[in-house]
Chains A and B, each alone.
Chain A
Amino acid sequence: MNHILTILIFFPALAGLMGFLVDKKSIKPYVVSITLIELFISLYLWYGFNSAEIGMQFVEQANLIEAFGVQYLIGIDGISLFLVILSTFMTLIGVVSISDDTEDLRELLLTILFLEMTMVGVFVVLDAILFYLFWELSLVPMLYIIGAWGGNKRVYASIKFFLYTFTGSIIMLVGMLYMAYLYYQASGTWSFSLLEWYRLQLPLDYQIWLFVAFFLGLAIKVPMFPFHTWLPYAHGQAPTVGSVILAAVLLKMGTYGFIRLSLPLYPDATVYFLTPIAILSLIMIIYTAMVAYAQKDLKQLVAYSSISHMGVIILGIFALNPEGITGSIFLMISHGIVSGALFLLVGVIYDRRHTKMIDEFGGLASVMPRYALIFGIMAMASVGLPLTIGFVGEFLSLVGFYKYSHIMGIIATGTVVVGAIYMLSAYKRTFFGKVVNSENSKLSDLNLREYLTLIPLTILVIVLGIYPKPILKPVDESVKAIISLMHQKAVTEEAKKIIPNIKIGEEARK
């Protein structure tokens, strides 16, 4: 298992290149099997992962630009492990969901393979420049997917998506270069290795500026209020598979970046900005939930609900205690599964009726009972009903945040109700009542391809909702390591007070 991470990153890209040789008719089975293999490799990674061990595992290192300190440094801990598995799993689901009569099927499928490379890359690299490299590179295939297979305003949506994220992240790049410069001044060598950067203690005023630079890049990707305006367009115009991958994985890059970069590098600045960010996330949760309620388009509704839940994830991260961060990571995974499934479900109905307007539907439960059942389960999971996957993460995030601030914790919990309102009302309008529109009365229920994508997701939603421990355990260990690092590194009194001092590894067992 020496080079398993390298294989995991570059296997899809290599297979994508080889894919140009595969005949058009057999391209879908080819890509499905590639993504299946990739999923098995990532599961094998989980099998080989030692959750008792602290720190990075499967580390590989090689010099790329020695004179400038850029390294090929990759490795995973409990946090990235599950995001990698989420990426490979959702890519497989997305690929299976594509119907055979899509135009330019080969280009679409091979683009997804390249996208998979960049997604896995972002989650496993431990070198800032390489992180930026995969982060930016992921924009290109997504631009193509939205722009070539999207709706009417696809070109506008894809450019907006690209420019927004690019502008934010290039500011982050300046921050990274500044960080490297500070590291150079402190140690005398150039390095972009995150593991080296973790050891660097910075005074508060430096931290604040760097935190802001990183925040811009990460917040636009998440997307946090008020930088969220690109996302509804991107979702609204993207083809189903694009929305699935965008919501399930690409948005997680931003929140992952907060945990991997901002928190451990700048603990004091994190505490300094805690209240403003918490307020922003609260606004984000409530405002986008209200906007979601006002939507007439089912897909836009799912898109806004997706933003709203990202707000809970941010809140969990900035709780700065193990419950909050572990919960938010679990919520990332559950949000990936649930919002991915919801976009698939919207795609199902769109394929049949070529409209996404809620008004066009009504009484679908009697026409498509199985579809209605799965949609119902996913809607409940999205709302955060206990015993579904959505509950665990949301509960832990909110509990974590309640520890930091009771008032804001209570407000945040209240917002879950708002989430229930729009989801349930949309469900009611779509599925209950009488079939008003005669076109709806002849719709066929799910077909085999749709079962293949939706059933695994449904099983996961329920199984992980009842028994989340296999994921929570390893994540928790890595989160504790990050928090204890933050506590050690903090320079201000306030940060030392807010970030709990956690014993990890050998010390904890004594």
Chain B
Amino acid sequence: MIEPVSVSFESLKIATLMPMLLAISGGLLILLIDLLKSHLDKSIYIVLSVMFILMDLGSVLSLELNSRGFFDVIFIDGIAMLSQIVILVASMLFIAFAFASNRFHEYQYPEFFALFLFMTAGFQFMVASDNLITIFVGLETASLSLYTMIVLHNKDKSFEAAIKYFTMGAVAAGFYAFGSMILYGLTGSVELYKIFEVLEARNFEPMILVIVSSLFFIGAFGFKLAVVPFHTWGPDVYEGSSAALAGYISIVPKIASFVVVMRIFEQLIHSGVDWIQGVLYAVVVITMTMANIWALIQNDVKRMLAYSSISHTGFVMSAIMIGTTQSNSGIFLYWIMFAFANLGAFAMLWASRKRGIRYHERYDHPFEKFAGMVKLMPLGAVMMGLFMLTLAGIPPFSVFWGKLYLISSAINANYTGLAIIMALNSAIAVFYYLKLVIFMFLKDPVSSLDGSAYMTNASISLKVVLGISAFFTVVSIFFVNPILEMASYFVAMSGF
């Protein structure tokens, strides 16, 4: 006779689960409203989503640091807190894009917003756990929602993108499962802290299995983060998604993956498994350099931004490879700074979307589209130019401070060679960002176009988001210190 399992409700600490529950119930509520009364205007869903994300954010902020809950699968440490805040704030800014002036297919479906909230919850599960199974569940929840959201854009290209992303994502999920399986087989646990306890106790023997499982993890997160050579889906997916969603894909899923990668690999790197560090070093350098070179030859602004964000990912991955507290807080500084600039750049693309006008038979946003923009739409051109210079890392705009801090952390950890590679890559990157600036400021407009296309999709809320990002990128110098102090505090609290 088995004893009945009795778990007291208090011991569950349901509060740790509260943020995700809020997001999920928000999604369910939206579906319910649609069931009761369909064909409502999108604005109600947008506002509801924003409100639920706000509540979500509130409950994240009220969480107790370094606590576990819900059968100990939820683990709220510093980086879990920090990354959830970043994810939620970015999500909130991106959902405001739905207030576009033009009617777009995907926003007519309430399911889009429900999926959006489910996805947010998925990312939160991913970062707020050190249990391999919970991470997997979060990863898949988020990814499946994302695939569907891409395809809702309802263009040939978006079907292609979604299928491509889905297939690659399935492979990545397989890799992840294999990697976890090996770790479970070695240690009999799916909780990372226990796994590493056991592994350290026997000095990482048998080494070959540890290495194989890390290879699987590198593969899995290589796909998710789109690092070279797992990047091939990236540019096509960016191109197929709407600019708003592409901006989202370039920021939020990646920060969630960074956190998981940090949890898995920091321990391995610090316990002297040199081989893994070597592989990561190679991946980082190749990702940064190759993506930059590919970005140089793109004819489409969105594809260029896709490759450039792969390069930025490589830049940030180097921090994980370095693995000091400084570099790990640098990840958050860099990503927050990058998020605002990238948000602004994609918002500008989104604003310039006009249905029925094709500038190029192949591309939606060819460089020619922006030729001479300063003459037709000076303010828009200045904004876009600002975001390009920011992404290029020109001081004093936001991304520069992230670069500065990461390069410095590379130097401090005695990776001077890597620091120089990072610096040179920044110099290469300047070229393709400047290309757009040159088209906008130094070339004459293509005669057949008038200026009406550039801001046609800009609604008030979009302009507000643009204003916020532009303001933040310009005065970011005053935000660096508070962000850095917060990030260092949280990262140090979690022991990375």
Q: Which residues of A contact B (CB under 8 A)?
A: 63-68, 70, 129, 132-133, 136-137, 139-140, 143-144, 147-148, 154-155, 158-159, 162-163, 166-167, 170-171, 173-174, 177-178, 180-181, 184
Contacts of A159 in B (CB 8 A): 431, 434, 438
Interface range, B side:
20 to 34
Q: Mark B403-435, 1 if CB is under 8 A from A, else 0.
A: 011011001100010011001101100110010
CA distance A67 to B329 in the complex (A): 12
Q: A144-B441, A159-B431, A181-B411 are in contact. Are A68 and B423 (CB under 8 A)?
A: no
Is A177 within 8 A of B408, CB to CB?
yes
Q: Which residues of B contact A (CB under 8 A)?
A: 389, 394-396, 400-401, 404-405, 407-408, 411-412, 416, 419-420, 423-424, 426-427, 430-431, 434, 437-438, 441-443, 477-478, 480-481, 484-485, 488
Contacts of A139 in B (CB 8 A): 394
Contacts of B431 in A (CB 8 A): 159, 163
30 cross-chain CB contacts under 8 A: A65-B484, A67-B485, A67-B488, A68-B408, A136-B395, A137-B394, A140-B389, A143-B434, A147-B438, A155-B438, A159-B431, A162-B430, A162-B434, A163-B427, A163-B430, A163-B431, A166-B427, A166-B430, A167-B424, A170-B424, A170-B426, A171-B423, A173-B404, A174-B407, A174-B420, A174-B423, A177-B411, A177-B419, A181-B408, A184-B412
Contacts of B426 in A (CB 8 A): 170
Is B407 within 8 A of A177, CB to CB?
yes
Is A148 within 8 A of B434, CB to CB?
no
Q: How many Å from the CB of B428 to the closest CB on chain A? A: 9
Closest 9 CB pairs of A and B: A133-B395, A147-B442, A167-B427, A177-B408, A170-B423, A67-B484, A65-B481, A65-B480, A174-B423
Is A68 within 8 A of B396, CB to CB?
no
Is B442 within 8 A of A158, CB to CB?
yes
Q: How many Å from the CB of B374 to the closest CB on chain A? A: 8
Is B430 within 8 A of A173, CB to CB?
no
Q: Which of B424, B438, B441, B481 contacts A66 (CB 8 A)?
A: B481
Q: How many Å from the CB of B233 to the closest CB on chain A? A: 31
Q: How many Å from the CB of A17 to the closest CB on chain B? A: 11
Q: How many A-B residue pairs have CB under 8 A?
A: 92
Q: A65-B477, A137-B394, A163-B430 are in contact. List 7 more A-B contacts (CB 8 A).
A: A67-B481, A70-B480, A129-B395, A170-B424, A173-B404, A173-B407, A177-B407
CA distance A177 to B326 in the complex (A): 14
Q: How many Å from the CB of A242 to the closest CB on chain B? A: 13
Contacts of B408 in A (CB 8 A): 68, 177, 180-181
Contacts of B396 in A (CB 8 A): 133, 137
Is B416 within 8 A of A178, CB to CB?
yes
Q: How many Å from the CB of B444 to the closest CB on chain A? A: 11
Q: How many Å from the CB of A461 to the closest CB on chain B? A: 35
Contacts of B407 in A (CB 8 A): 173-174, 177
Is B419 within 8 A of A174, CB to CB?
yes
Q: How many Å from the CB of A438 to the closest CB on chain B? A: 35
CA distance A155 to B438 in the complex (A): 7
Is B395 within 8 A of A132, CB to CB?
yes
Contacts of A163 in B (CB 8 A): 427, 430-431, 434
Q: How many Å from the CB of A462 to the closest CB on chain B? A: 40
Is A181 within 8 A of B481, CB to CB?
no
CA distance A154 to B443 in the complex (A): 10
Contacts of A136 in B (CB 8 A): 394-395
